Structure 1
Amino acid sequence: MEGMSSHPLTVGFDLDMTLIDSRRGIHAAYQALSAETGTYIDADLVVTRLGPPLETELAEWFPEAEIPAMRDRYREIYPTYAIEPSTAMAGAAEAVAAVRRLGGRAIVVTAKNQPDAVRHLVHLGIEPDAVIGWLWAEAKAEALREYGASVYVGDHVGDVRGALTAGALSVAVPTGPISADELRAAGADVILTDLTEFPAWLEGYAAGVAAGA
């Protein structure tokens, strides 16, 4: 287990709608799955509620017994349809770079499966120090604790819960499906408009830590 002693500043980031805008790509992947299976899926609705695990969304469209097969098929077609159309959120690369500039370590902790998370980041040229997939909400605390993260940045109330469970500062950006008021009510410690505000905030936070604030 790697702790904070060797990396005094470790910042975790969520992926979908925090670092990347994956709506167009996910929309295309669900449309392809719908066409292939003949099952109606409202892809417009799907992309308004990104964040929870894939199985949660599939359960809205498929019987429980079919979910494992649909999950596997979705993941098979995902790289074909979803990587290219997805874009970086404003300030994403700069936010990761800001952590490095202060001598820290940036990690990505996401509910998305790890291989696809890595594909997105490589495609967009965003290079965190580690990518940990398969973790949602409170389960994100596992990775945040393992890597000694003192800050976790996300767009969903599940991200807030993960940060608080880990004892990390919850920094929230209302760039996904959840409003600033909802994020604040969930317990977020800091609300930023988007990641373009993160580097300046991080400098102030790091200065406070250094000063023992």
Structure 2
Amino acid sequence: MSAVLFDLDGTLLDTPSAIADTLHATLAERGRSASDARVRATIGRPLAASFAQLTELPEDHAEVTAAVELFRRLFREQAVPRARELVFPGIRALLEGLRDEGHQIAIVTSKIRPSAEELLKPAGLYELFHAVVCHGMAERGKPHPDLALLAARELGRGPEACVVVGDAVDDMRMARSAGMRAVGVTYGVATEEALHEAGAHTVVRSVDALTAVLGTLTAAPPSATPLPAPPLSAPPPTAPPLSAPH
């Protein structure tokens, strides 16, 4: 049977706005500010990379480290208690349906493990996944293939039997570089055009449409044709870059 690898923020949970608000609040408490466009352009990356870009400091700088810890505290206090209501309508039914049909499902996220668990557990989704693969569990994060390939190994599936679902450019690029099918969703952060440019095989606009597409893809035999990967050195498309925290 097939395996489906899901991004978390903006794909399963409607968290991007809460992430952006928390990034702004963190910068303000640290005596800094950034435009909303700059803030949203960092969403979906590991927090240290986000704050390094926003502060123009190295990732290992003490101020970046302090900002990361402050963000995690604020997000835990303000967003995590609302986790269950942030789950997109229809997502739980989709996940339960895939499991009932015998498919393996996993999370592949740029969050670190504790941050992923603190959202998935109160959201009531954690127990549905066969694997949760997070930033730091492989040598390289998105858009490199490492996290997706690790998830495939944990599920006992080859890349050709896996489908990646995500709302961000880096999700699509990760899928293509791993030789997996890439399904983009536009109800998260990136536009349909940006997702296609990043390598999406299919783009959908709703959870209902996603359910229908996955029903088709998971029913089909894996393709024996390798999927070409776009170069990781290529700059990402200029689209509403949001993606989610870590």
Q: CA separation in 2, counterparts of 1:53 and 1:178?
A: 17
Q: CA separation in 2, counterparts of 1:35 and 1:209?
A: 51
Corresponding letter in the other structure for 2:152: R
Aligned residue pair count = 204
Q: CA separation in 2, counterparts of 1:109 and 1:188?
A: 16
Change (3 A) 1:45 1:92: farther
Q: Aligned residues: percent identity?
A: 27
Runs of 5+ consecutive residues of structure 1 not aligned to the other structure? 1-7
Q: CA separation in 2, counterparts of 1:27 and 1:84?
A: 17
Q: Residue 206 of structure 2 aligns with which residue?
A: 194
Query: Which deviates more, 13-22 or 48-57?
Result: 48-57
**TM norm structure 2:** 0.73
Q: Residue 132 of structure 1 aligns with which residue?
A: 133
Matched, 1:52 2:64: no
Change (3 A) 1:79 1:44: farther
Deviation at 1:61, TM superposition (A): 3.0
Q: CA separation in 2, counterparts of 1:12 and 1:165?
A: 14
Q: CA separation in 1, counterparts of 2:92 and 2:38?
A: 28
Q: CA separation in 2, counterparts of 1:17 and 1:31?
A: 18
Change (3 A) 1:28 1:85: farther
What is the aligned counterpart of 2:8 among 8, 15, 20? 15
Corresponding letter in the other structure for 2:87: A
Matched, 1:73 2:70: yes
SS of aligned partner of 1:12: strand
SS of aligned partner of 1:25: helix
Change (3 A) 1:177 1:199: closer
What is the aligned counterpart of 2:183 among 139, 152, 171? 171
Structure 1 contact 171–189 (Cα < 8 Å) conserved: yes
Corresponding letter in the other structure for 1:117: A
Matched, 1:26 2:38: no
Matched, 1:83 2:89: no
Q: CA separation in 2, counterparts of 1:172 and 1:28?
A: 24
SS of aligned partner of 1:136: coil
Deviation at 1:69, TM superposition (A): 2.8
Corresponding letter in the other structure for 1:102: E
Corresponding letter in the other structure for 2:66: A
Q: CA separation in 1, counterparts of 2:38 and 2:15?
A: 14
Structure 1 contact 50–177 (Cα < 8 Å) conserved: no
Deviation at 1:29, TM superposition (A): 2.6
Deviation at 1:44, TM superposition (A): 7.3
Structure 1 contact 108–132 (Cα < 8 Å) conserved: yes
The two structures, once aligned, show a CA RMSD in angstroms of: 2.5
Deviation at 1:157, TM superposition (A): 1.4
Q: CA separation in 1, counterparts of 2:109 and 2:178?
A: 15
Deviation at 1:153, TM superposition (A): 0.4
CA deviation map 1:40-81 (0-9, x unaligned): 245675346522221232123323322223223322433112
Corresponding letter in the other structure for 1:22: T
CA deviation map 1:112-143 (0-9, x unaligned): 11111112111221232221111322133332
SS of aligned partner of 1:60: helix
Corresponding letter in the other structure for 1:191: V
Runs of 5+ consecutive residues of structure 2 not aligned to the other structure? 136-140, 225-246
Query: Which deviates more, 69-78 or 115-124?
Result: 69-78
Q: CA separation in 2, counterparts of 1:48 and 1:20?
A: 19
**Moved segments of 4+, more than 6 Å:** none
Query: Which deviates more, 191-200 or 69-78?
Result: 69-78
Q: CA separation in 1, counterparts of 2:196 and 2:215?
A: 22
Structure 1 contact 27–44 (Cα < 8 Å) conserved: no
Corresponding letter in the other structure for 1:101: D
SS of aligned partner of 2:106: strand
Change (3 A) 1:74 1:115: same
CA deviation map 1:76-121 (0-9, x unaligned): 4331122134511233212212211211111000001111111211
SS of aligned partner of 1:164: helix
